[in-house]
Amino acid sequence: MFRRLIVGWLLALLLVPALARATEVQATLDRSNVQLGETVTLNLRVENASGGIGMPDLDALNQDFSILGTSQNNSLSVVNGSASSALTIGVALRPKHVGTLQIPALNVGGGQTQPLQLQVSAPDPNAAAAANKNVFMEAQVEPAHGYVGQQLSYVVRLFYATSISRGALNAPSLDGVEVSQLGDDLNYDAERGGRSYHVLERRYALIPQHAGHLEIPAASFQGEAIDPNDPNSFFGSSTPISASAPAVSLDVQAAPADWKSAWLPARQLSLSLDGWPGAQEPVRVGQPLNLTMNLQATGLPFETLPVLSLPPLDGAKAYPDKPVTGTRQDGQWLVGRRQQSFAIVPERAGTLTIPATTLQWWNVLTDRMEVAQIPAHSVTVLPAVGTTAIQPSIPAEASSSGASVVATAAAPTTPWRWIALGSFGLWLCSVLAWWLWRRRRAPTTTAPTAARTSSRQCQLVFLAAARGNDPAAQAHALLAWARAERPAIQHLGELAAALDDASQRAAIAGLQQRQYAGAPMTGDGAKLAEAFKRGFVWRVADAGDDDTGLPPLYPFKLH
């Protein structure tokens, strides 16, 4: 009983952040082009639904569609401690006439969807002629012509008016073309020549690697059908059936001859840089400024997108984090994404400017070049806490002599650093010997106990480093301890974001200032040890590929 209460309490904690998020509503069609007589599914997805949601008012659809039925599906997912819920309402529709049909905005769960369009064409005469068959196939490619590196959508449809017990639909095999299946098979009903058919639709993403004429061979189906009027069919008797779709051809163009940058033929592309501090958030010397660059392209996998980088900065250093990449499927198109986070550490007070970043790409919908741009952005950097800004009117001779004094004053401290490091190394050897002795005394320690021991040893190492005067060693030991408990943490910025204790976050900020800006210690080692002596105070936080050797994003320029 107690265990059930604990599980219920944990689930409640996970659900509270999801319920607190704003409700988001999205409408999608499983297909954007259909023939008259076919059915199409309208999916209404409600993210983070906070309560019971009734069926929306669908009367606006009756003018152009017949509503065949509805369904609902609830889902709950927990990723890295963050919970999200979704409700999907499926509406089966059959168009009433040919043309561009409008699906208006619908009110669902307190939100409103975006309008959609559906292209409805007249039935293919060839398919109508084949309607007297129990099984036949269709195939088409979209668009009818393309560029090297552009994703094409190849669709194969199997129509059958009989019961199929088993069968196989072959995948296209093409030289010089990357082929991958898009999502799961679609199943719906359609009419051809006044006869009703079940339809199995399969989609493929084709990415040609060479220019020229491309011939997609005929797709074929081999299977077995059961005749319900044959009494022997109930005892495993079946009839072999086969069907094939006509071959499809198209022309593939090369990139424009004068194209100089990375070739990105996409249907849509966006580039942004997020994380700028607000007007009331001061930026100081040595205080990291965490920015995130996002690049997303529809019709391209992430492997073809350039590696994200920042242009050279005057007065600051940029430290890139591990990139996050991935490719998802949006209906019949691939959507590639790259995300790169940067910790920008200002080195002097004044105005810090992040120059503009631009990226050229080819819009395959309008057949012309476009430019995605992140505009230049400037922030005011204040002096580090406890220091005074250097006045620009100081003569050059005074600046040089001051620098000499600083270098001379810092030189005598070098032996003490080595002495401290040596003492720390001897202490670490003593701890290691003690741990080995304890391990011999308790050889049956379980894996969870060993993990706690490892975390404890890392804590002891950090506390010893905190009493020293080396900020780099303190930061390294603190990160090693944090990773022993949460391996996904990459840098001190992520660690601070994952903590729920203000004093621990302030201690990390002070450590970063000493590490990057050279701020004086002034007893901060004791404060650092005091802040973490009882362990980390974690909170639930959102949590993801190495560089591919592709050319960097910068410095593509506007002309």
Is the residue at 443 inside a domain?
A: no
Q: 12: domain range?
A: 2-120
Over residues 392-436, the pLDDT tens digits come to 333 333 333 333 323 333 334 445 556 666 667 777 777 777 777
| Order of all β-strands in the sheet with 377-382 | 283-284, 377-382, 350-354
Report the number of distinct structural domains present in the chain.
Answer: 3
Chain centroid, CA 462 distance in Å: 34
Let me know whether 153 and 59 are in one domain: no
Is the residue at 389 inside a domain?
A: no
Let me know whether 94 and 206 are in one domain: no
Over residues 508-555, the pLDDT tens digits come to 888 887 776 666 656 677 888 888 888 999 886 443 344 444 444 544
Let me know whether 290 and 182 are in one domain: no
The torsion defined by the Cα of 279, 281, 282 and 288, in degrees rounded to 10, comes to: -120
Residue at which a domain ends, from 357, 382, 407: 382
What are the C-alpha distances in Å from 7 to residues 4, 10, 209? 5, 5, 52
Is the residue at 425 inside a domain?
A: no
pTM score, whole prediction: 0.54
Higher pLDDT, 399 or 211: 211
Higher pLDDT, 179 or 549: 179
Let me know whether 64 and 184 are in one domain: no
Let me know whether 177 and 239 are in one domain: yes
- Give the pLDDT band of residue 169 (cuts 50, 70, 90): confident
| Mean pLDDT of the 225-248 span | 72
Q: Are strands 265-266 and 248-253 parallel, antiparallel or unpaired?
A: unpaired
Is the residue at 80 inside a domain?
A: yes
Q: What is the average pLDDT score of the chain?
A: 78
Let me know whether 108 and 140 are in one domain: no
- Give the pLDDT band of residue 240 (cuts 50, 70, 90): confident
Let me know whether 112 and 170 are in one domain: no
Let me know whether 131 and 115 are in one domain: no
Residue at which a domain ends, from 220, 253, 286: 253
Is the residue at 172 inside a domain?
A: yes
- Give the pLDDT band of residue 438 (cuts 50, 70, 90): low
Let me know whether 374 and 285 are in one domain: yes
Specify the residue for token string 């909170």.
Answer: 539
Over residues 52-63, the pLDDT tens digits come to 677 888 888 988
Of 84-98, 139-153, 241-255, 481-495, the poorest mean pLDDT is in 84-98
Let me know whether 19 and 53 are in one domain: yes
Task: Please say if the pLDDT value at position 232 is more than 80.
Answer: no
Q: What are phi and psi of 382, to 5 degrees?
A: -90, 160
Q: How many CA atoms does the CB half-sphere of 91 hold within 13 Å?
A: 23
Is the residue at 451 inside a domain?
A: no
Let me know whether 193 and 102 are in one domain: no
Closest CA to 297 of 324, 262, 263, 271: 271
155 exposed, middle or buried (CB, 10 Å; 0-12, 13-18, 19+)?
Answer: buried
The CATH number of the domain holding residue 229 is 2.60.40
Closest CA to 113 of 56, 167, 191: 56
463 exposed, middle or buried (CB, 10 Å; 0-12, 13-18, 19+)?
Answer: middle
Residue at which a domain ends, from 120, 136, 168: 120
Let me know whether 96 and 146 are in one domain: no
In contact, 326 and 302? CB cutoff 8 Å: yes
Over residues 442-498, the pLDDT tens digits come to 444 444 444 444 788 888 888 888 888 888 888 888 988 898 898 888 888 888 888
Q: What are phi and psi of 98, to 5 degrees?
A: -80, 150
Q: Which of 2-6, 7-11, 121-125, 131-135 has the highest average model confidence (pLDDT)?
A: 131-135
Task: Please say if the pLDDT value at position 1 is more than 50.
Answer: no
Q: Looking at residue 228, what is its pLDDT?
A: 62
Is the residue at 199 inside a domain?
A: yes
Over residues 20-74, the pLDDT tens digits come to 445 678 888 877 777 776 778 888 888 776 556 778 888 889 888 888 888 877 7
Is the residue at 31 inside a domain?
A: yes
Task: Please say if the pLDDT value at position 180 is more than 60.
Answer: yes
